[in-house]
Amino acid sequence: MTMSTIFYNSSLLFTSHWRMISEILILWFVFYRIMLFLKDTKAVYLLRGIVILIIAFFVFQKIGFDTLNWILAKIFAISVIALTIIFQPELRQGLVRLGQQQLFYTGFREAEAEALIKEVCTAVDILAQAKIGALIAIQREIGLKNYIESGIHLDANISSEIIRSIFVKESPLHDGGVIIAGEKIVAATCLFPLSDNANLDRALGMRHRAGIGLSEETDAVVIIVSEERGVISLAVGGRLTSRLSKNDLAIILKGLIKRRKKK
């Protein structure tokens, strides 16, 4: 065997190993992200059922149970369509998350963000002290047009007084959520999708579920004030952070909506 053959064979081996490892790593990443995404949803139970069916399929194949194998093969052939229907909400959310990898989101301008945070935090703090429920969504990269259309169009400048007057119980606009986009309060009485996360605290009311629901479907930052306890919460990416003070809220909001400085 000449040196060139040895080199060729070893480089081939290295290349194939390199490819194998890369492919497995990519597959690992994809599977991990899918499992992480499905972790706290109802879909995980469905997935368990599917995994059991797949294992059964391979076991039947090994043992040679041809009839059962044939039936499962037919079920799998039909299940491609069934799965897209069953996992439709998860698929939609997954594609939205994939598309919202914040490549183009630049955030609010410094002054714009400061003013917004100051007005919103002041309003929320006063509402919490008075135990008046509130639901405020701040639009980021993903447009909230669908939800804006479900409410009453306002197009008002952001001020704590306007926010407070919207949520006062006597106000005809107090039901539903307020949406802030850019420098404007664009709509009130907006309907947000309710979260169907089974792991949420049962004590959480519809307002919290709506806030979490919107943050699951979009990248919006949602502030929720509970009517019963006067607690300020923040929902981002389907996760709820509760018992925030005015200052906590301001700090978190700064990090979430301010324009990132170029390094």
Partner 1 sequence: MRKFRFIFANFWLKVISLFMAIVTWFYVNGEIVKLIKP
Q: Which stretch binds partner 1 (CB under 8 A): 22-30, 145-153, 193-201, 248-256?
A: 22-30
Site for partner 1 contains 18 (CB under 8 A): no
Q: Which amino acid is at 185?
A: I
Q: Among residues 1, 3, 36, 98, which is the contact residue for partner 1, using CB under 8 A?
A: 36
Contact status, residue 152 vs residue 191, Cβ threshold 8 Å: no
Q: Which stretch binds partner 1 (CB under 8 A): 21-29, 63-71, 191-199, 228-236?
A: 21-29
Give the separation between CA 177 and CA 37, rounded to whole angstroms.
Answer: 26
Contact partners, residue 258, CB within 8 Å, separation at least 6: 107, 108, 110, 113
Give the DSSP per-residue string, 138-178. E--SS--HHHHHTSEEEEEE--HHHHHHHHSTTSTT-SSEE
Q: Among residues 8, 14, 18, 28, which is the contact residue for partner 1, using CB under 8 A?
A: 28
CB of 52 to partner 1, least distance (A): 14
Give the separation between CA 225 and CA 136, rounded to whole angstroms.
Answer: 9
Compare residues 24 and 206 and give the one whose CB is closer to partner 1: 24
Contact status, residue 185 vs residue 135, Cβ threshold 8 Å: no
Q: Among residues 8, 14, 18, 32, which is the contact residue for partner 1, using CB under 8 A?
A: 32
CB of 10 to partner 1, least distance (A): 21
Site for partner 1 contains 45 (CB under 8 A): no
Site for partner 1 contains 35 (CB under 8 A): yes
Q: Which stretch binds partner 1 (CB under 8 A): 24-32, 140-148, 177-185, 245-253?
A: 24-32
**What does the block give as tokens for 64?**
């040679």
Q: Among residues 11, 18, 39, 110, which is the contact residue for partner 1, using CB under 8 A?
A: 39
For partner 1, the binding residues (CB under 8 A) are 20, 23-25, 27-28, 30-32, 35-36, 39
